[in-house]
A = this chain, B = another copy of it.
Amino acid sequence: MSSQATVLAALASPRRREILRLVWKEELSAGTIHRAMPDVTFGAVSLQLRSLLEDGLVEARAESRRRFYRARREALGTFAEVLERMWDDKLWGLKLEAELEGSRRGPRPRRRRRKT
C-alpha cells in the first residue's frame, strides 16, 4: 500500500475522490471521466489522473488512442472501505434528498428544479 500520508493527501481532494469513485468498479477512459465532471477542463482532469497514477492509486491501460483508468483498490488498504462507506453514505444522502424533494408537495413526481 502507498504510504498512508500519501493516501491521505490524495484523498483530501474532492476532485480526486470523485475520479476514484468513477473508476472504482470499471475502467473508464480519460475522456469519459472528464465528461462526468464538466466543470473543469480536460487538462485539469488529466493532471489529477497523473497525480493519482503517481501515487499508485489508479492504473492506466492504453488502447489505441484512449487511456483507460481504474482504481487500484489494493493500494488504498483500509481506506478502500472508508471510501466505499463514504460513497454509500452519500448515496443514502442523495436518496433521502430525492425523497424529501418528492414529498415536498403532493403528487408531482420527477420534476427537477434548477438552482436560481
Contact = CB atoms under 8 A, between A and B. Distances in A.
A4 B78 contact: no
Contacts of A4: 82, 85-86, 89
Nearest to A89: B4
B11 A8 contact: yes
A5 interface: yes
A107 interface: no
A36 to B, nearest CB: 18
A106 interface: no
A79 interface: yes
A68 to B, nearest CB: 26
Interface in A70-101: 78-79, 81-82, 85-86, 89
19 contacts: A4-B82, A4-B85, A4-B86, A4-B89, A5-B14, A5-B17, A5-B86, A8-B11, A8-B12, A8-B17, A9-B12, A11-B12, A12-B12, A78-B78, A78-B81, A78-B82, A78-B85, A79-B82, A82-B82
